[in-house]
Copies of this chain bind each other. A is one copy, B any other.
Amino acid sequence: MADNTVRILGIDPGLRVTGFGVIEKSGQRLAYVASGCVKAPQSGTLPDRLAVILESLGEVIETHHPGEVALEKVFVNVNPESTLALGQARGAAISAAVLAKLPVSEYTALQVKQAVVGTGHARKEQVQEMVRRLLRLAGSPSPDAADALACAICHAHGGQGWGGRHATRSAVPNAPTVRGYRVRRGRLV
């Protein structure tokens, strides 16, 4: 990898499903590397589930060697049980990054949407579609993986939007390179 190349791991933590996405930034170029979901067994105990998150993200880091990690800052849920569950999943996900001595950055949902869609008021589907376009993917990543990739893209742009409110794909500075992914039923697998 060239000196100005950095791999970014975006994580969208959850106690049931944790999305992840790795992209590579070379100058202004963004390239898709990998993405997917970690599913913790619903029947498992809390430690079992956190172990799955910790170990699976550890494997992702070992395989793809990201240099930086990005997460979305969360707004606390109305349901306290869900908030606690999310907090525990985030704790395990950040632990995986900390263990690999990777710097972790957090971005608000507003920052992520602005970076990916160009407006903070984008719908979830718009974010997914723009992630697909920005990374030149033939299929949509799963929603959890798309959120993780969006967060990585936001980090690549320094937490800044890349275009105006009505920015379109042509506003992307350089068309990104893409490689190594499979598509099934229009979705990355």
Q: Which residues of A contact B (CB under 8 A)?
A: 45-47, 50-51, 54-55, 74, 76-78, 80-81, 83-99, 103-104, 106
Known contacts A46-B106, A106-B46: A84-B95 contact under CB 8 Å: no
- Which 9 interchain pairs have the tightest Cβ spacing? A91-B91, A87-B87, A76-B80, A95-B95, A47-B104, A88-B91, A51-B98, A84-B87, A91-B92
Q: Which chain B residues border A106 with CB–CB below 8 Å?
A: 46
Cβ-neighbour of A87 out of B45, B47, B85 (below 8 A): B85
Q: Which chain B residues border A92 with CB–CB below 8 Å?
A: 91-92, 94-95, 98
A69: nearest residue on chain B (CB-CB)? B47
A58: nearest residue on chain B (CB-CB)? B99
Most buried by B among A51, A77, A93, A96: A51
Q: Which chain B residues border A88 with CB–CB below 8 Å?
A: 87-88, 90-91, 94
Known contacts A46-B106, A47-B104, A88-B88: A83-B94 contact under CB 8 Å: no
- Report the separation of the CA atoms of residues A104 and B54 in the bound assembly, to the nearest whole angstrom: 15
A61 → chain B closest CB, angstroms:
14
- Report the separation of the CA atoms of residues A97 and B96 in the bound assembly, to the nearest whole angstrom: 13
Cβ-neighbour of A90 out of B81, B91, B98 (below 8 A): B91
A83 → chain B closest CB, angstroms:
5
- Report the separation of the CA atoms of residues A93 and B168 in the bound assembly, to the nearest whole angstrom: 44
